[in-house]
Structure 1
């Protein structure tokens, strides 16, 4: 009996040692992961976007990787002038981030949406408010005066709170993606989508029944 008791005690001690060692190993691994993540962020060379070249390079991240070389690129330059930075030969137009605004917000959209986008810029330049622009384009789209592009045409947004980027990768600090699929005058009934998101990365339809009806998609991860 005495030998059995001694054996049980030894098993208990060994088990306790193994559990303690395992817990310490797991804690050590977690600490190393945190340190590595912090060190990686500290090593990333984020710098202000302070030139037209940097503005274009960062804004092109809004486009699919395989299409960036062929995109037309337009928008406000560092001097505040609306210009064409480069012509393109594919289906995308990139609208660069406005350097005069806080944060970063670049867009890439299908070229068939250009009349709709250009009309918005024109009305905004005239001093029209957001609701006024919406009403004017709604009326013009219903009358056929405004071309709304191909149904299903997409808009890709690359945006974030920072206006700094990594000159080696062109990634903007803490930026993320959102995708929009335009379906003029579509509704929840015609698409089967909810009018409000049911999850952080679930698609839903915004402005249903109007010229600006579109499917909103916000991925949970970041892919460049």
Structure 2
């Protein structure tokens, strides 16, 4: 049974822990894609509030491919939660990053994952065949689950990734390791995948 279809009412209510498991359960692996409207409502929550209404939304099909669920009119593209993942995540990124993310999905569909997928995209950037725009932002929103009736995300946590290919500590003045909670730092410095990480303290 899909845990998101569970409705609990009246005297039949289970204890609190069971209720939370039913209402906010995580997507199970190999689950069918969520309804289109729900995919859209969940996905746009990763975007800044003033960009949500105009964002394009990409969602998941039964065969694992991604298609446009809603065409927007601004520079933001949001991605609905992947039903094959155990954890909950939605994200929104600047349209300039879409070729990079689309290529990542293509490689994953072809069975190229992990470090091999990362290196493949870096090599294509270096060859001039895959753009990674400097300064483009990806907003990543995770949570412990969601309510399918309201699209409310449980324990939402938003972090930011700002792509800065080939940037270094010298060129940016940023450290190459995390420091104070929420402070920006540079990951993969000096590589095509260099990016600024901003991860606020949990619970804030």
TM-score over 0.5 for the alignment? yes
- Contact persistence 2:46–2:139 (CA under 8 A): yes
Equivalent residues of 2:141, 2:159 under 8 A apart:
yes
Which whole-Å CA distance do the structure 2 matches of 1:212 and 1:159 have between them? 22
Q: Which ranges of structure 2 fall in alignment gaps of 5 or more residues? A: 1-18, 28-33
Q: Secondary structure at the match of 2:93?
A: strand
- Evaluate the alpha carbon distance shift between residue 173 and residue 79 of structure 1 in structure 2; reply closer, same or farther with a 3 A threshold: farther
Give, in angstroms, the shift of residue 220 of structure 1.
3.0
Equivalent positions of 1:28-67 (< 5 A) are 46-47=23-24, 51-67=35-51
Choose which of 166, 188, 192 in structure 2 pairs with 1:207.
Answer: 188
Q: Does 1:145 align with 2:129?
A: yes
Preserved CA contact (<8 Å) 2:36 2:59: no
Task: Evaluate the alpha carbon distance shift between residue 79 and residue 137 of structure 1 in structure 2; reply closer, same or farther with a 3 A threshold.
Answer: closer
Name the one with the larger helix percent.
Answer: 1
Query: What TM-score results when the alignment is normalised by the length of structure 1?
Result: 0.72
CA distance in 2, matches of 1:123, 1:210: 20
Structure 2-normalised TM-score?
A: 0.78
3-state DSSP class of the match of 1:101? coil
Paired with 1:79 and 1:120, the residues of 2 have a C-alpha distance of 16
Query: Residues 168-207 of structure 1 correspond to what in structure 2 (within 5 A)?
Result: 168=150, 170-207=151-188
Count of aligned pairs: 179
* More displaced stretch, 195-204 vs 75-84: 75-84
- Return the offset for 1:135: 1.4
Given that 2:24 and 2:154 are in contact with CA atoms closer than 8 Å, whether structure 1 keeps it comes out as no
Aligned counterpart in structure 2 of residue 163 of structure 1, from 118, 130, 145: 145
In the alignment, structure 1 residue 134 sits paired with structure 2 residue 118: yes
SS at match of 1:69: coil
Q: Is the 8 Å Cα contact of residues 40 and 57 (structure 2) preserved in structure 1? A: yes
Task: Tell me the secondary structure at the aligned position of residue 91 of structure 2.
Answer: strand
Structure 1 unaligned segments of length 5 or more: list them.
1-41
Matched residue SS, 2:154: coil
